[in-house]
């Protein structure tokens, strides 16, 4: 077929996007309204399950203008997929899976796909909260941002706050945040408040390439580039007093959000796997609607090899954020001239965004182990779940939703509805509304740092271009995304955080 011939010649994400838009216009999809916050594309052709998109009617038009709904229907064609291909309200076009995509696969019949995890394996968010009122910070804010900018390197390929030997790096990939704490980067109590306690099992260091080890040697403790950031803010509004109290959040409290992932190490693990997965798909006669969905049966040698390497990258990211959190604490101590016990920066929680995990979920009334892919989506487990810290079991798992650098972020909790409908998943952020190229055009002739300063927000980036690409209007308003999840019942709002200082990768 001409279509297949064209697809086989496509190697870049951009070209793939253009061909799909040309050959499958969004008008071909019928979006059936399920409720005020959920739409469904019923199975047609090779779709094994429906594609379900969480969005309000107002949001749907912008979602339809992107290629992401096509990608959601593509995911619905993969072997062993269970219930539905899901997309959160921050959905936008990504590599293979849409960003904001969630899909669960049967362990016997299903597949694992690197495109369902992404290049930045275990990109995630940590929230820390202090004992301090925001007014305690404002007089020293610019000095604090400058100090943190020096302590936490940013940018593409940035060398890290520490470098390790290859043998030590293997320990990092096995022990995650626990390795960092054992080296003095943080405290033992941090580990209780990290997804998987900051250390996922099932890693296989033999599946990690020399190139990946090399790239990971000097990037621990770094933000990297793109939309990664370290942000100082405060609790501006509380919606659920009980949940906020359980987390130790109070009005005007100073907070830190850290958003980053597994850096070049995770990128290389993903990149190394793609060719292997394409060959595996041919070997196991898996028909792919898009070669970016290259995959292998979960129980195959290739599937297990990817999972083993991916878990090494997951642990690297846990360690990376742990080191950054430690350096943030040191920065606060130095600039404020106050003992760390008086500052009291505690880890409230840390969640992963780009991950594939074996979890047990109830499907049609029966508990089943599944491989849940979350690509630009957050775990949102319900009250009572054994996987979340004991301190939060009555309120549900904290869910951290960062917005853009000029507006606000949110703290949510997971719900029983999420467990039933989305495999315990929720959105992960605002989602881009502009490409980076369009953002640069929108920022032309403007001084974004000055605009932010005029709004009382001190920003620092590796370059002016970084700030231009990350201007606020490049993102959807995260409130609309969070409200959609709330209407759908897959999360509850707890608190709104407002930034006053931000370091961008």
Mean pLDDT lowest among 37-46, 323-332, 353-362, 468-477? 468-477
In this prediction, residue 13 carries a pLDDT of 39
Instruction: Give the rounded percent of residues in the chain with a pLDDT score beyond 70.
Output: 93
Q: Is 213 helix (H, G, I), strand (E, B) or coil?
A: helix
Taking each continuous run of H as one helix and of E as one strand, the counts in the chain are 18, 19
What integer pLDDT is reported at residue 20 of this predicted model? 38
Please report which confidence band the pLDDT of residue 400 belongs to, taking 50, 70 and 90 as the band edges. very high
pLDDT of residue 304: 98
Residue 26 has pLDDT above 70, yes or no: no
pLDDT tens readout for residues 40-69: 999 999 999 999 999 999 998 888 888 899
Q: Which of 75, 81, 72, 76 is nearest to 108 (CA)?
A: 81
Could you read off the pLDDT of 153-185 as tens digits, one per residue? 886 776 666 889 999 999 999 999 999 999 999
Q: What is the dihedral of CA 278, 279, 285, 286, to 10 degrees?
A: -20
* Helix H or strand E segment including 418: helix 416-421
Tell me the C-alpha distance between 461 and 448, whole Å: 11
Domain boundaries, the chain: 124-274+291-504
Mean residue pLDDT across the chain:
92
The pLDDT of residue 3 is 29
Whole-number Å distance between alpha carbons of 256 and 327: 12
Three-state DSSP at 432 gives strand
Element containing residue 291 per DSSP (H, E): none
Helices 166-175 and 301-336 pack at an angle, to 10 degrees, of 100
Rounded to whole angstroms, the Cα distance separating 348 from 189 reads 10
Contact 322, 186 (CB under 8 A): yes
Over 70: is that where the pLDDT of 25 sits? Answer: no
Q: What per-residue confidence (pLDDT) applies to 159?
A: 62
pLDDT of residue 240: 98
The residues, ordered by sequence, that sit 6+ positions from 150 with a Cβ below 8 Å of its Cβ are: none
User: What pLDDT, on a 0 to 100 scale, did the predictor assign at position 212?
Assistant: 98
Residue 462 has pLDDT above 90, yes or no: no
**What gap in Å lies between CA 360 and CA 344, rounded to an integer?**
36
Q: Is the pLDDT of residue 309 over 70?
A: yes
Please answer whether residues 49 and 319 qualify as being in contact, where contact means their C-beta atoms are separated by less than 8 angstroms: no
Q: Which residues are catalytic?
A: 428
pLDDT for residue 24: 52
Assign 476 a pLDDT band (cuts: 50, 70, 90): confident
How far apart, in Å, are the Cα atoms of 217 and each of 134, 221, 264, 376?
36, 11, 10, 26
Tell me 382's DSSP state.
P
Return the pLDDT at 424.
Answer: 98
Is 18 a residue whose pLDDT tops 50?
no
Instruction: Assess whether pLDDT exceeds 50 at residue 432.
Output: yes
pLDDT in tens, 250-272: 999 999 999 999 999 999 999 99
Return the sign of the alpha-carbon dihedral for residues 10, 16, 18, 20: positive
Q: Give the whole-number percent of the chain exceeding pLDDT 90.
A: 85
Q: What does the alpha-carbon distance between residue 196 and residue 389 come to, in Å, rounded to a whole number? A: 10
CATH code of the domain made up of 124-274+291-504: 3.90.1860.10
Task: Extract the tokens encoding 375.
Answer: 């690509």
Read off the pLDDT of residues 225-235 as tens digits, 9 standing for 90 and up: 878 999 999 99
**Cα–Cα distance between 41 and 43 in angstroms, integer?**
7
Element of type H or E holding 83: none
Q: With beta carbons less than 8 A apart as the criterion, state whether 269 and 311 touch.
A: no
Question: Parallel, antiparallel, or unpaired: how do β-strands 85-92 and 99-106 relate?
Answer: antiparallel
**Rounded to 5°, angle at Cα 322 from 316 and 326:** 145
> Residues 459, 472: contact at Cβ < 8 Å?
no
Give the alpha-carbon dihedral of 281, 73, 104, 489, to 10 degrees: 170
Segment 360-375, tens digit of pLDDT: 999 999 999 999 999 9
Instruction: Give the pLDDT score at 160.
Output: 65
């Amino acid at each position: 077929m001409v279509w297949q011939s064209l697809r086989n010649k496509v190697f870049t994400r951009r070209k793939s996007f253009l061909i799909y838009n040309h050959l499958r216009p969004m008008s071909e999809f019928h979006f059936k309204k399920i409720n005020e916050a959920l739409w469904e594309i019923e199975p047609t052709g090779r779709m094994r399950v429906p594609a379900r998109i969480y969005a309000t009617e107002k949001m749907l038009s912008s979602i339809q203008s992107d290629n992401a709904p096509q990608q959601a229907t593509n995911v619905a064609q993969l072997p062993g997929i269970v219930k539905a291909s899901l997309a959160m309200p921050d959905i936008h076009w990504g590599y293979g899976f849409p960003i904001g995509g969630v899909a669960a696969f049967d362990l016997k019949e299903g597949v694992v796909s690197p495109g369902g995890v992404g290049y930045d394996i275990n990109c995630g968010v940590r929230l820390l909260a202090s004992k301090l009122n925001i007014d305690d910070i404002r007089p020293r804010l610019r000095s604090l941002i400058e100090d943190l900018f020096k302590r936490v390197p940013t940018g593409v390929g940035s060398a890290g706050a520490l470098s390790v030997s290859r043998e030590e790096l293997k320990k990092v990939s096995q022990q995650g945040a626990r390795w960092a704490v054992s080296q003095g980067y943080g405290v033992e109590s941090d580990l209780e408040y990290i997804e998987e306690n900051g250390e996922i099992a099932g890693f296989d260091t033999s599946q990690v390439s020399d190139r990946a080890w090399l790239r990971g040697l000097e990037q621990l403790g770094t933000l990297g580039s793109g939309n990664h950031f370290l942000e100082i803010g405060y609790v501006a509004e509380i919606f659920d007093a009980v949940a906020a109290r359980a987390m130790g959040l109070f009005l005007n409290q100073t907070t830190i959000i850290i958003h980053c992932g597994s850096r070049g190490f995770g990128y290389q693990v993903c990149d190394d796997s793609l060719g292997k997965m394409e060959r595996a798909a041919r070997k196991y006669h898996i028909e792919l609607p898009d070669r970016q969905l290259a995959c292998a049966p979960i129980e195959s040698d290739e599937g297990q090899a990817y999972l083993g390497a991916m878990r090494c990258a997951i642990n690297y990211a846990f360690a990376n954020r742990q080191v950054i959190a430690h350096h943030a604490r040191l920065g606060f101590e130095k600039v404020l001239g106050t003992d760390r016990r008086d500052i009291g920066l505690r880890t409230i929680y840390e969640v992963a965004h780009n991950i594939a995990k074996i979890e047990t979920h109830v499907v049609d009334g029966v508990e089943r182990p599944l491989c849940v892919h979350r690509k630009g989506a957050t775990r949102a487990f319900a009250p009572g779940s054994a996987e979340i810290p004991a301190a939060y079991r009555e309120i549900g798992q904290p869910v951290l939703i960062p917005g853009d650098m000029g507006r606000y972020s949110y703290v949510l909790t997971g719900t029983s509805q999420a467990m039933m409908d989305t495999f315990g998943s929720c959105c992960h952020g605002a989602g881009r509304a502009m490409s980076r190229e369009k953002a640069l055009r929108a920022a032309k002739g403007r001084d974004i740092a000055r605009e932010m300063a005029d709004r009382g927000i001190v920003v620092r980036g590796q370059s002016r271009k970084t700030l231009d690409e990350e201007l606020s209007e490049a993102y959807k308003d995260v409130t609309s995304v969070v409200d959609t999840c709330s209407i759908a019942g897959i999360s509850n709002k707890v608190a709104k955080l407002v930034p006053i200082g931000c370091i961008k990768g």
